[in-house]
Structure 1
């Protein structure tokens, strides 16, 4: 049975929800994980929606089992994060999106859905764009978040969540950050947090750790590129993405 089971005494106060499903550049997941850690958020509930595999996860040096998709909340109930250790199957996104959206509506939640836009640029501060449903357009205007410069589509479970929000007339925001197609992108996650989550959710987030991660990953990418250039044999294969969001 599709459900979200609450395991906390925290009372939600019309919170913003930051979605952290794995996707391109792991932008949403990195942002969500950082929020949970840096704000010392409390485990709030288990997400048991249709489309999620019946598995459990555990952490290093801990015997405690946890659901793979979880909700965390701040002590004052003003912010909720959906943290996920697994992807959602494309074949089951509809049921998952319905389950999450029903919970969003019943708890007066404003969801911020996060996705990455494939980019070839290596900017220190990746561009962030916004799309919206319901009254989300006014939230974007107030936060100074601009629309994407080109048309496209949002695919995968995040796209399904936005589509379900649109169908139900729910106010939601989609945060689209330019991100690496090949590597985890903490720089893109930092843009989401600083220029998206902070103004929209009225929260302050220390992103210094993400800056350090970005520098380490950039150095690793450069070393990999050098090794590929020095390798003998055929040129490395590559694929060009369609002009769409992933």
Structure 2
């Protein structure tokens, strides 16, 4: 029988090769900003999967793979250790479908961080503003006051009252739940319309994150996707403009 939450570490990876001082969370969310950032870093760094997480709090469905086979929904932890540092990445298919599940899963994520020696968590997400902006801001939040200055130096912005409803899901809860464990937490939220997958916002967030980490990551693939999105967006806006003109003419 499936347990509420199951964590399976890769048996071929020794316990000492699972640890890292930094965790970067990039689960699906608004504009898939966090997912884009984390998966791009995994690909560019060549990070290795070390664990899989399954849960009854994920949607009741399976993922259809190439060839028609299926697998259960899961989230995964990847690890990179090399000249650019040592990092863990939390990515995957879904967040929870319930409020209770958000808390329980986020607590598990934080407990894993504590177990694996993480001293700082970066959570990455999108901040939906409901419209398209030419310039993308990166709104930040921290779980310790003394982290503010380094975030601002990297280009993050602290804006009182934004996001208005707080930070929903793992991106927010992991910051709060990590406080009793003494783990530093920084959330970076890229402004996005909330209507589309947003690689442009992800590119901006990546820039701030890499400054905080003190490393360089090639963003060419994200930038290319952002360019493709810009073209699609311009077409969409043009269609909307034409529709408005036609309605105005009819009226």
- SS at structure 2 position matched to 1:48: strand
> Which segment drifts farther, 102-111 or 83-92?
83-92
1:5 aligned to which of 5, 8, 27: 8
Give, in angstroms, the shift of residue 130 of structure 1.
2.4
1:160 partnered with 2:173:
yes
Counterpart pick for 2:242 among 230, 233, 244: 230
CA distance in 2, matches of 1:177, 1:136: 22
Q: For structure 1, which runs of at least 5 residues remain unmatched after alignment?
A: 235-246
Unaligned runs of at least 5 residues, structure 2: none
Match for residue 204 of structure 1? 216
Partner of 2:137 in structure 1?
127
Choose 1 or 2 for highest CA Rg: 2
Choose 184-193 or 2-11, whichever is displaced more.
Answer: 2-11
TM-score, with structure 1 as normaliser: 0.80
> What does 1:29-48 correspond to in 2, within 5 Å?
29-48=35-54
Going from structure 1 to structure 2, the CA distance change for 1:3 and 1:133 (only over 3 Å counts) comes to farther
Q: 1-side partners of 2:150 and 2:74: how far apart?
A: 31
CA pair 12-145 structure 1, distance change in 2 beyond 3 A: farther
Size of the aligned set, in residue pairs, is: 232
Task: Indicate conservation of the 8 Å contact 1:42/1:72, yes or no.
Answer: yes
* TM-superposition CA deviations, 1:185-216 (whole Å, max 9, x none): 111111221211x1333432110111111111
CA contact (8 A) 2:114 2:181 kept: no
Moved more, 134-143 or 149-158: 134-143
Task: Map 1:171-182 to 2 at 5 A.
Answer: 171-182=184-195
Cα deviation code 1:133-170 (max 9, x no counterpart): 24871683585344422323212332222222235443
Partner of 1:74, secondary structure, is strand
Alignment of 1:56-135 (within 5 A): 56-57=62-63, 59-60=65-66, 65=71, 68-76=74-82, 78-91=86-99, 92-109=101-118, 110-119=120-129, 120-123=131-134, 126-134=136-144
Q: Do residues 15 (structure 1) and 26 (structure 2) align? A: no
Following superposition, which runs of at least 4 residues in structure 1 exceed 4 angstroms of deviation? 53-56, 61-67
Larger % of helix: which?
2
The two structures have a TM-score, normalised by structure 2, of 0.79
* 8 A contact 2:140–2:156 mirrored in 1: yes
Deviates further, 175-184 or 83-92:
83-92
